[in-house]
Every structure is written in structure tokens, then in C-alpha cells.
Amino acid sequence: MTNQSSIEFRPVDRDQRINSMDIIRGIALLGILLMNITGFGLPFAYGDPTNAGGSTGWNLKVWIMDNMFFEGTMRGLFTMLFGAGFILLTTRAESQGGGIKVADLYYRRILWLLLFGIIHVYLMLWYGDILYPYALFGLMLFPLRNTKPKYLLIAGLVLLTIGSIKSINHYNQNVETKTEGLVVEKLKANNEDVELTKEQEKALGKWEELKKSKKTEDEVNEAIKENQEGYWSIVKSRYNVNEFMQANLVYEFWVWDILSFMLIGIAFFKWSIFHAKRSFKFYTLLMLVGYAVGLLVNYYETAMIVHSDFDVIEMSKADQTYQLGRLFTTLGHIGLFMLFIKSGILKFLQNALAAVGKMALTNYLMHTVICTTFFLGYGFGMFGKLQRYELYYVVIAIWVVQLIYSPIWLKYFRYGPAEWLWRSLSYKKLQPFKLTK
């Protein structure tokens, strides 16, 4: 019988890492910034470019590109890798005979991530944080570590289906809200002195609230002004949106969006899909089927939204198939990226991407540090001053910087700074930081 008190876990050595997972994690991390940059630099423009940043010319083309290829897919890929990383951690720890100490290590690691997420949201000022929901749903994974991959896949697909059903119901409710609201609007237009019933007032109020997703120029300017203030003013002004994103949205959206992909990611890890061990034929088929279905669905959604000039009802109609298009496009990305990895081409780029992936937490937090400093009022104050397409100059600059400094850093240090801190706290012991020859 193993003596639990004598077991001492330690972080995985470099030569034990799965290089293909580091590379694809690096790609996913850099890809996430393609979507997050809009939230960093513009008000109310993430899903609706008519609110701010421009919705014609190159601005529209950039939005279309994002919606077709990257919306939800880089996040989905990153989430799948989180699930895969969980099973990698627990499997290696249990192979050392850890027993209950494995659970102790895992939950301590997750709870520290939860705290990092809270700090990231409220003090580092990124309301689009994923660390908090990752930790929240990560708490549910440990009992599933020995579940067969086919059941994990089924569970993930069930969660995605539930999320899609909720989107269908949401669309039907919006249609009903619009229909009833327009009837009352017409009634008031024909007779300004008409006295509305409570039901009519409620219907009109719901319709007015729904239309608020389209922001007025005054609302946009007010948001820009708030984000041009000092640090503590921005902390205060963002509190409500932070609370919504990390409370309401977690249970209305993230549970179907994140937990589902975590479970699918664990299944894919168990099937060695992320290990680049499957055949070229397998990954080619995954890419072709994934893109054929995913991009067809995404095109349908994108065309509908653009042709309606980003009408709120049509946007909610497109949400009905969002998870379907997102899932298959993500599968297409996995096939493409794995073919790239297995080919061995551009080895210098693969090495740089692997370094970015090894420092994923550090680089993710650096996105926030760089972008909040560049855009918010206590830094360079560029919030709301760039068009949508111009934001991608910032993205490219950050990509270049991280692809250069990540491999250089790892020549001298074992981990990124955030990874070192997380590991030290998780293992309750300061980990070696510098590389020794």
C-alpha cells in the first residue's frame, strides 16, 4: 500500500510535454486575441459593428472574416485543450500512486485559477475573462477523469444541444416581443391619447429593452468617456458589466459553451487526437468535414446578419445554429493545425508557437496588460479611437512580440512568470524558476 504522506508531486518536466498540444495551444491563444481585441478597444462592438468601429469597407470585411473563421472557435479550441490538460495532470499524478493527494492537488490548482480569474476581471479590468468560468466548470471535471471518451463526447454534444435549444427559445421570444411591441407602437401612433393596459405597457417595455442592443451615439460616446478616465473610475464603471459576465452569463451561456468543449477535449485527448499520432488521412478528413459543415453554417449566419444590417432579431436567429457552426469549424481547425504540425514545415514557427503555448497563462494575462495600457485612460487612452480593422495592427504587433519573447524567455527560465506562480501555489512549494545547465 502506498504511503500517501511520502508522495511528492512536481510539475511535468520539459521532455515529458506533448509538443503538439503546446503548438496548438499557442495558436489558439493568439487566435483568441483576434476576437478579444474588439472588446479591449471599442464599446459595444464585439457582435455588432454598427455600434462602433465602422461597419463598411475593411471594417465589415474584418467582421465577416472573424464571424466565418474565428468567432467561438479559438475559444473552443483553447477550452478543449484545458480539458485535455486536466486529464494529463491527473493521469500523471495518479500513475505515481497519489490517491486522494491527486484530488488535493487538482482542486487546489483550480481554486487558485478561480482567484486569478477574479483578479483578472475586477482589478486587471478584462470583463471577457475565461479563467473564472474555466475554474468554475473545472471543479466538475475530476469525477469524470476515468469516464470512457465516447460518453464524454455524448455528454458534450448533449450540453451543446441544450444550449442550441435555449438559443431557439430565445429567438422565438424575441420574435414574440417584437410582434407584440410593434402592435402597441402602432396603436400609440394612431392614437396618442390612448390609455395602455398593463399588458400592453409590459409588451412595449420589453420591445424597447430589446432594441437597446443598438446603441445611440450618445451611449457610445459616454462609454468612450468612461474608459478614458483614471484606473479606479474604470474599476467602478465596469463593475456591473463584470458582474453580468461572471454571474448571469456563466449560467445562461458559458455552461453550455465551455463545459461542453471541456468534455469533448478530454475525449479527444483520450483518443490521442491532440497528440498528432493519428494518420494524415484522419486529420485531412477531420479538416474537410469540419470546414464543409462549419463554414457552410457560418456563411448562412453571416449572410443573414449582414443582409439585415445587423438587425437584433436576425442576429438572434443566427444564434440558433451558432454552436453547430462553431463546433465543426473548430474540428476543421484541429485537422488543419495537426496536418501543419505533422508536416514539420516552418519548424522555427512551430517552435515559437510551442513556446507561446507553454506560457499560455502568462501570455493570456499579457494580452490584458498590453491592451488595457494601450486603450484605457490611465495608459495611452486609445479606446474608441481606432476603426475595427485598425485594431488588428495591434493584434499583429502583440503576436510578433509574443512569438519572439516566449522562446527567448524559455531559454533561461523553466516557466512563464504566471505559470511559475500557479505551480508554486498549487504544489505549496516554490518551484525552481531558472534553468540550470
Cα separation of 305 and 315, whole Å?
A: 6
pLDDT for the residue numbered 9: 52
Give me 126's grid cell.
478584462
Q: Per residue in 290-300, pLDDT tens?
A: 999 999 999 99
Calculate the alpha carbon distances from 417 to 55, 109, 362, 378, 404 in Å: 39, 16, 6, 24, 16
pLDDT > 90? residue 33: yes
Instruction: Decide: 262 and 79 in contact? Cβ < 8 Å.
Output: yes
Cα separation of 7 and 99, whole Å?
A: 10
Give me 249's grid cell.
452569463
pLDDT > 50? residue 25: yes
Average of pLDDT values for 295-319? Answer: 96
Q: Per residue in 351-395, pLDDT tens?
A: 999 999 999 999 999 999 999 999 999 999 999 999 999 999 999
Give me 66's grid cell.
472573424
For residue 368, give the amino acid letter: T
Question: Residue 197 — very low, low, confident or very high, per pLDDT cuts 50/70/90?
Answer: confident
> Can you list the alpha helix ranges (DSSP code H) found in 238-321?
239-243, 249, 255-270, 280-307, 312-318
Q: Is the dihedral of CA 371, 376, 382, 383 positive or negative?
A: positive
Through-space distance between the first and last CA atoms of the chain, rounded to whole angstroms: 37
pLDDT for the residue numbered 435: 87
In terms of phi and psi (left: phi > 0; alpha: psi -120 to 50; beta: otherwise), the region of 292 is: alpha
Question: Residue 88 — very low, low, confident or very high, per pLDDT cuts 50/70/90?
Answer: confident
Cα separation of 371 and 162, whole Å?
A: 35
Q: Per residue in 322-349, pLDDT tens?
A: 999 999 999 999 999 999 999 999 999 9
Domain coordinates in residue numbering, the chain: 9-427
**Residue written as cell 468612450?**
224
For residue 395, give the amino acid letter: V
Cα separation of 159 and 79, whole Å?
A: 14
Give me 403's grid cell.
512569438
pLDDT for the residue numbered 4: 47
Q: Per residue in 238-262, pLDDT tens?
A: 999 998 988 888 888 999 999 999 9
